[in-house]
Every structure is written in structure tokens, then in C-alpha cells.
Chain A
Amino acid sequence: MKRFLWAIVIGGIAFFVLCGAVEFYQSRVDNNYSYKYWYMENHRHEVVTLLLGDSYIENAINPGLMGKGTFNLARSSRWIYYDDKLLEKYIADMPNLKQVILGMGYKPPYFKSYHYPESESNEPEMNEHEKYMYEKFMHIRYDDNSNHWLGLYRGYIDPGTLIGNNLLCDSLGYERVDGQSVNWRLEHNVDSNVFHQKYAKEQVAEYTGYLKDMARLCHLHKVRFIVITPPCHDSYIVNVRQEGLDIIHGIIENVRSEYPIEYIDYLQDEEYRADSIYRNCSHLNSIGADIFALRVKKDFGL
């Protein structure tokens, strides 16, 4: 028995030492989260235009074309909670900030969790990967009980983020994606059941709450608050429903009733019908990101 217990103790120590090594290694490897955090900690005073949102913004607006002082703080797959918390954390100490541009896609207000089957059946929970990455690299906790270790060791973390250098964005936070996915028309189809998910209403209400809070913060600090719905390809739009559009426009009107908010819906804009500007049916590629950045700049007079 003594021999067995020793084997377990040695194995246990080795396990915890390895866990420590993973933590140490991770803290030495850069990724988009750690870079964006570093930038905001060190260069927030220079930021004039701050881009927030998910992949619809991170990959779809090239900040280099939007004028000096633009930084893309958006992060793929994030829930609006993190945008609100980032804004809350930094806005008071951003003397040059003139406008905040937030992307609001057609689907994201319904998906707190990006695991679709789970969203349909269970109460949506925050994506564990996001929890882990924001907590570890941007020091924003989702809730008091969240623990990035649990996320890591329950297999919720994308192994790629643990192994390699995942710094994919440029110095202005833009993650450039060239060309198209192989099955670009087929991926990211609009789920027609999205409005009828069990918790769709609750998620939209939660989303509206965070959006309103961001509008409040901008209003308080005399910063323009701009919301845009990025363009999508025809193969995506064919599944878009008026019911869904009414909901996202309703969210904007709800916020506008209390705080100033500027909004343009580019979802079905005629300028974005060419196949060549899309990475997949709902995301622009680098060609599209350049075109879109210039358009947003022009439309909002930046």
C-alpha cells in the first residue's frame, strides 16, 4: 500500500507541476487577447476611435484605413458583456477618445453561448473558452465563481491557444483574413430557429442591458456611440427574416429612447454583393475589410 500511495503522490506532484508549467508557458506566449490588453494598458491615451464587437468587426474593419488613433479591440466570438466591461474599465482614462464603434451582427444578440445545441436546450452559459481567455489575459472575470482553471481542465479551452503563438492581429488589433474558406457559402448558415430558442428573449434582454450601459458610459464621457450591423453575403441574407431584423432594430430603438446612439444597418447593403469580398457567407475577408472600413469612415464622418 505504501508503495502505491507513493506512486500516486509522485504522479500527483508531477501533475500539479505540469499544470504550473502550462500556466507559466501560457503567460509567455502572445495571443490577440494579451496583445490587446497590453495595448490598452499602454496606449489607451492615444485612441480616438475604439472598435468593439466580435469577429464581424475584428476581421471586418481595417483600423489602419480609418484614421490615426483607431484601435480594433473586438474579439472573435465574444459576448457583449466583455465589451461593456472593457469600456467601463478604460473610458474614464481615454482623453482622446471621440467615438466607440460597436458591431451588432444579425445573430449575436441571441447567442450568449456559441455552442448552438446547448443554447437550444439548456439555459445559455457563457462560453468557457471566452471566460478563460478574458480572465487570464484581459483580467476581466465573468462572475465571482468563474475560474479559468476549471475551464482549462474541463477541456473547454481550444488547445491551439495553449500550444502555439496565437498573436494573429496586427499592431492595431486587426486580424487580417485573406481569401475564402473552402465551403464559404455553406458555413455559418442563419439558424431559422434562432428567434424561437427557449432563452432567446432572455438573451436579447441581457444584450440590450449591456448595450444600454455602453451607451450610458459614452454619453457620460461625451463620446459618440456608433452601432453597425456588418454586411453579409446573399447566401446568408436569403435566410434572414424580417422578424429577426425587427428584433435587432428594436434593440437599437430601445437604447435610443434613453441615450444617444448612431446606427447603420449594412446587412443587405448593395455595395457588398460581390463574392470576392467574403471569407465566408457572414464574414468579410481582407478585401471586404478595407472597403468596409472606408465606408464606415465616410458614413460617420470620422
Chain B
Amino acid sequence: MLFNSIQFAIFLPIVFLLYWFVFDSFIKKSKNQLRLQNAFVVMASYVFYGWWDWRFLLLIAFTSFCSWGSGLLIAKAETRKKAKTWMWLNIVLNLGILALFKYYDFFASEFAELFNVSTVGLLLKVILPVGISFYTFQALSYSIDIYRGKIEPTKDIVAFFAFISFFPQLVAGPIERATNLLPQFLKKREFDYDNAIDGMRQILWGLFKKIVVADNCAVFVDHVFSNYTNETGSTLLLAAIFFTFQIYGDFSGYSDIAIGTAKLFGIKLMRNFNVPYFSRDIAEFWRRWHISLTTWFRDYVYIPLGGSRVSKAKVVRNTFIIFLVSGFWHGANWTFIAWGAYHAFLFLPLILTGKNRKYTNQVAEGRRLPTLKETGQMLLTFFLAVMGWIIFRAESIGQAWEYVRGMLQFGTLRACYRFFTLPEIRLTSLFVVIMLVIEWLQRDKQHGFEGIEKLYLLHNKYLRPILYALLLLLMMVFGGKHASFIYFQF
């Protein structure tokens, strides 16, 4: 079930009303009230997830059960060594499932090609379960955190299943930590008006980024990337820039809808994006892009390897490991590994010179506009990100290389012609600019529509819902046609 589908528009209000009116108010006096409400969350989440393919439910239930059981076994273990064994068993099991579904065919076909053997009977050709990379990492964090003594294991299997399967963030994150999300399922949630209204606004903002920005960019991007050999350099550059906004609008839009939806249920999810295209260097970009994944790798891979407090050779090794693994997490293709390696090369000079944490504050803090230097830094970082996205978007490394080569051949100004003659591109560019302006003005806020009730026209509490409705209508009318979310495939 997609967030931007009619089904979800029906599903969400039903679940919301049942959650608060039946499983909260109506059965308030029951001692099992919390448990029943959590069971309802699990049920609703399984309906949401099973909408794609009910067979996926068996897998997520199995992963949840094993991780829950491993947590109890880790805590019960008499020695540290035994606890470690249980933790590793859970890691191997979860990563094994992930590898089987996501990476086996890739390695098998690479093996077949390397040794020139037939792939007949070698490939599994299984469907990749939606969001498997997201919930697997969430499940892993639980057992690792118990082993590290950061959290206590829960005996409440229903709460744990709700933690793994909570539908707003199940298929594309944010990848929640057990330390943040699980305790919220272990205590009673209270409905908070301001929080719910803020959640609705965040959903609206996420829909704008997804439906209006990303989906409109997708039309042009898909066309150019599938005909890149026939396109001129300036068209290819324009399409690469559009893809940069497409992937941001798509993924951060999804995150905003997820976080906003969770707020309606009294659940607070972690922030996943923090205006990454206003970063002044690549290190800052990575602190602001897909935060839940980058911090996951930082906490569970990078720091255990020694992080940056080791010899320079090991820092280089650790940096490459984290970026390559992060790239590979996105999918079984050399392009993702190359994308990771590309960012590792950009990141290395910063970490080796100790400048990787130079920009930890918000750009132009306390000012309306950035300085010339900051603007230059942001543009350079943006350009580096664009180059990376070409590798990410390409079908193969060869295609990425051809694309970049084509981009450097500025034979004609066809992109400019397109820009000025095609109304779709003009309109899409306008939407991108609107997104950037709002994000810039709201860069110290959690999302683009946070606190907008303080703006002039939105003071009036009766006018506000009407303006939101108007915005929703305009979004639907001006929305693009690309329905699915890019990150679902990961």
C-alpha cells in the first residue's frame, strides 16, 4: 500500500479512529488495554505490508520472532561469551535472510560470469520483499543494543512486533533504534492535538515533495536516462540535476509522511533528512542525508571498527568499509558500490585533515541569506552530489561513465531549448524552486510546514484547513504520474 494511494487514504483514517476510539478510549479500563492497542498496530501494519504480497508477512514475522527471542537469550546468558554468541546468531540469521533475498542472485550471476558457467539452476529469482533492508537493520539494532547493555530486552512480544512492523516506517524507514521506538510501545500513548496537527502538516509537506516535485522530475529523468545516448550534454546535466531533486523529494517526502503519520498515533520517529542540499561539504551532506541509515552504520559498524580514533591507514579502511557497505545496502549492483566508493573518496580528505566536523551548525545561522563563500560551498557540494547520483541512477557503471562523458560534450544548448519550450520542465523547475525556498526559510525547523500557523494568512484557525485543502487539491492536480517510491526497492 503506497502512501500516495487511494487505499492508504481510506486505510489511515480507519486505523486512526479504531486506534484512539476503540483501542484506547473504549477499552480504557481493561488491564490489557496497551497490549490490545499494540496488537491492533501489528494487525494494521500487517494489512499494510501484506497489501503488496501476503507471503512477505511470514518473513517479517519470522525475523521479528527470532530477534525478540535472541534478545531474551542474550539477557539470560550466564557469560558474556554466550551473550555474544546469541547476538551473532541473530545477526547471521537476519543478514543471511537479507543476503538470500537481496544479494544471492547478484553474487551467483557474477560468479557465473567470472568462471564462465551457466546461470541455469544457479539463480533463485526470488522476489525482493519490500523494505527488507529497513526492518532487518531495525531488528539487528535491538539485539546489538541489548548485548551492549543499552536497553533491557522486552518480554512483551506484541510490543516488539509493533516495533518492527509499525506501518508508517516499515518499508522505507526511518530505520528506528530499539532505544527510541520500543519504549514508546511499552507505555501508554496520549493524543496530543498540537502534535497531531503538526503530523498532518508534515504529511502534507511530504506529499508535496513526493507527488509534485519528485513525480514531475521523474517524467523527464526517466525519458533522458533511457535515451541518454541520443541526448546532448546540457540535457544530460539537466536530467541529472532533476534526478538529484527527484530522489530527495521522493525519499525525504516518504520520511516526512512516515514521521507525520506516526505523530497521529502518538509516536515520535527520528528525523531522516535535514536539508542535505544546503550542506557546505560532503561530510555535512552525510550528516543530513538519510540520517537513520548513516547513524546506524556509524554506531554499529564504524565505531566498533575504531572510527577515526585509530591510525590513518585504519581510518582510510574504516571510511571505505562504511561507504562501500552503505552503497551495497541500497542494492545488489556495482553502481551502488561505485557510488559508495565515490563518496568515500570525497569524504577521505576531510576526515584525514580533521575537517569532517567543521560544519555542524545550520548554514547562515541567524541570517536570512548565505554569504558568497557559503553559496559557493553549497553549490560545489550539490554538484558533487549530482555526480554521485548519476552513478546511483545508472543501470551499470558503463552506463554511468557514458552518461558523464555525454554530459561533458556541450555540443548544443538543447537543454536550454527544452527548458524554455517545454511547459512541463518550466513547471517542474518552479516546483523545485518552491521546495528549495520553503526548505531554506524553514531550515532550522523539523519540516517545511512546521509552525506555519504563525504566518500572516494562516493565523485564522478556520482559514487554515481551507488553505490546506486547497494545497492538497493543487498537489493532486499538479502531481506527476510516477506512483511508487524509489527507496521501496531497497
Contact = CB atoms under 8 A, between A and B. Distances in A.
A181 B421 CA distance: 8
Given A4-B196, A117-B223, A155-B478, A14 B470 contact: yes
A7 interface: yes
A186 B412 CA distance: 12
B20 interface: yes
A183 B223 contact: no
B477 interface: yes
B469 A15 contact: yes
A166 to B, nearest CB: 13
Nearest to B226: A117
Interface in A205-226: none
Contacts of B465: 7-8, 10-11, 14
Contact of A155 (B469, B470, B477): B477
> Per DSSP, are chain B's interface residues mostly helix, strand or loop, or mixed?
helix
Interface in B173-223: 191, 193, 196-197, 200, 211, 215, 222-223
B474 to A, nearest CB: 9
Given A22-B473, A160-B423, A186-B414, A155 B462 contact: no
Nearest to A3: B193
Interface string B451-469: 0000000000110111011
> Per DSSP, are chain A's interface residues mostly helix, strand or loop, or mixed?
helix
A37 to B, nearest CB: 23
A159 B470 CA distance: 15
A156 to B, nearest CB: 6
B481 interface: yes
Nearest to B478: A159
Contacts of A1: 20, 191, 193
Contact of B468 (A11, A152, A162, A189): A11
B472 interface: yes
Given A155-B477, A159-B427, A4 B469 contact: no
Nearest to A9: B465
A183 B481 contact: no
Given A14-B469, A153-B476, A4 B193 contact: yes
A183 B421 contact: yes
Given A14-B470, A22-B473, A157-B477, A4 B230 contact: no
B448 interface: no
Contacts of A12: 469
A116 B196 CA distance: 41
A154 B469 contact: no
Contacts of B480: 155
B417 interface: yes
A8 B264 CA distance: 12
Contacts of B191: 1, 4
Contacts of A274: none
A275 B201 CA distance: 53
13 contacts: A1-B191, A7-B464, A7-B465, A10-B465, A11-B469, A14-B469, A18-B473, A117-B223, A155-B478, A155-B480, A181-B421, A183-B418, A183-B421
Given A7-B197, A116-B223, A155-B478, 7 more contacts: A1-B193, A4-B191, A7-B465, A11-B465, A152-B477, A155-B480, A159-B478
